[in-house]
Structure formats: C-alpha cells, structure tokens
C-alpha cells in the first residue's frame, strides 16, 4: 500500500505554510495525513516550525542520504527528511511545502505526487514578506523578484490565498481528503 506526497508550492509570501497549518486542523482526524517538518539552515523563530541546522550539519545530513529531496533557495538550504518517503510508502499522505525548482525530482522519490500551487496578488506578497522580518529589506526584495523556476509545471489545484485563510485551508483539506479517498481505493 502506498500513499501520496502533496507538494505545496508557490512564491514566497503566498502563505503556503499558513494554508498548510489551517488545513492541519481540518485533517486532524485522519491519522494517515502527516505534516513533516523540513530541515532548514535558518535558526528557529517566528513563522514556519522547522528543524534548524547549520550549513555544516545540513551538508552532513545530505551526504548521509538523510533527505528525500533537498534544495537551495534564498541563501538557505531546505531538506525534506527521508522518513517522509518511508511514510508515503507505508500509506501516509504527506503534505510538504517544497520549492518549485524540485518538482521534476519528486516523481523519482515518491510513487504518487500531487501539486498544489498557492498564489496571491503581488502587493499582498510584498506586504507579507516585509512584515515577517526574516531578512533585511534587500533580501526580502530579492524574494519578490525571484522568477518561478518552473512556471509550466502542471498543478492539480491552485489556491488563490487572498481571502479568508480558513477558506484557503479548507480548500487544501478537501483536496487532501479527495486524494486520500483515491489512494484508499
């Protein structure tokens, strides 16, 4: 029995992690749905709950094969733990925020992949990125200017996250539940 990976993608400031967190509440009753934390070379702090690592720790983990997939973006390194592939192989549905740059690699690791793109108008993105205080103004503006690394990659669902967060989260939760029904069949 295998499950599925649901890759949540979109530009910085679109609210991917917030939408995932909102969906988590709606999906709390389904033990097959997992929300793995990524390893990021960023200290712990406000925003996404992740597993912090230094550059050296991350490099050692990558060399040891500890990641299902990993990438570099915005001066940071991100990794999805190898355990996620094991969970999916065991029938779980894993919901993970990943870079658009690694979408083509996911099918090599996971037997079933679904892609959800979260978008938002540029003025909202700008305000969100500047308000979260993760980086200085220059780095924040660089996030805004980053081109989509794979604009033509097909997606299974697009969520425009410019309304109530609860609505965006419920749209994602409904999609996850639908995927869950299909992989059970």
- The upper half-sphere exposure of residue 116, i.e. CA atoms within 13 Å in the direction of its Cβ, equals 29
**Between 160 and 75, the higher pLDDT residue:** 160
Is residue 66 within 8 A of residue 79, CB to CB? The reply is yes
Q: Distances in Å between the alpha carbon of 59 and those of 37, 74, 79, 83, 88?
A: 18, 17, 10, 18, 24
**Residue 176 backbone dihedrals phi, psi, to 5 degrees:** -60, -45
Cβ atoms of 23 and 175 closer than 8 Å = no
Residues 143-163 pLDDT 10s: 777 766 567 788 999 999 999
* Residue in 85, 113, 81 with CA at minimum distance from that of residue 9: 113
CATH of 4-38+93-184 among 3.90.420.10, 3.90.320.10, 3.40.50.300, 3.30.1360.20: 3.40.50.300
What are 59's two structure tokens? Answer: 């490099």
* CA distances (Å), origin 70, targets 12, 63, 66, 100, 116: 17, 11, 10, 12, 19
Q: How far is residue 17's CA from residue 9's CA, in Å, rounded to a whole number? A: 10
HSE-CB at 151 with a 13 A cutoff on CA atoms is 3
Q: What's the CA gap between 76 and 26, in Å, rounded?
A: 31
Task: Tell me the domain boundaries of the chain.
Answer: 4-38+93-184
Q: List, for residues 8-62, the tens digit of each pLDDT value.
A: 999 888 899 999 999 999 999 999 999 999 999 988 876 668 899 999 999 999 9
What global pTM score does this model have? 0.88
pLDDT in tens, 92-133: 999 999 998 899 999 999 999 999 999 998 888 888 877 877
């Amino acid at each position: 029995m295998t499950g599925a990976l649901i890759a949540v993608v979109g530009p910085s400031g679109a609210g991917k992690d917030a939408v995932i967190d909102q969906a988590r509440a709606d999906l709390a009753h389904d033990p097959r749905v997992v929300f793995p934390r990524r390893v990021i070379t960023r200290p712990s702090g406000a925003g996404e709950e992740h597993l912090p690592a230094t550059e050296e720790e991350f490099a050692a983990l990558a060399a040891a094969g500890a990641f299902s997939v990993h990438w570099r973006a915005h001066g940071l390194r991100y990794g999805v733990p190898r355990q996620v592939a094991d969970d999916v192989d065991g029938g779980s549905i894993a919901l993970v925020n990943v870079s658009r740059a690694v979408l083509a690699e996911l099918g090599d690791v996971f037997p079933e992949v679904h892609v959800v793109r979260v978008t938002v108008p540029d003025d909202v993105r700008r305000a969100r990125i500047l308000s979260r205080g993760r980086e200085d103004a220059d780095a924040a503006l660089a996030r805004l200017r980053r081109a989509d690394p794979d604009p033509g990659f097909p997606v299974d669902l697009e969520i425009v996250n410019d309304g109530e967060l609860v609505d965006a989260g419920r749209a994602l939760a409904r999609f996850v539940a639908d995927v869950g029904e299909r992989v059970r069949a």
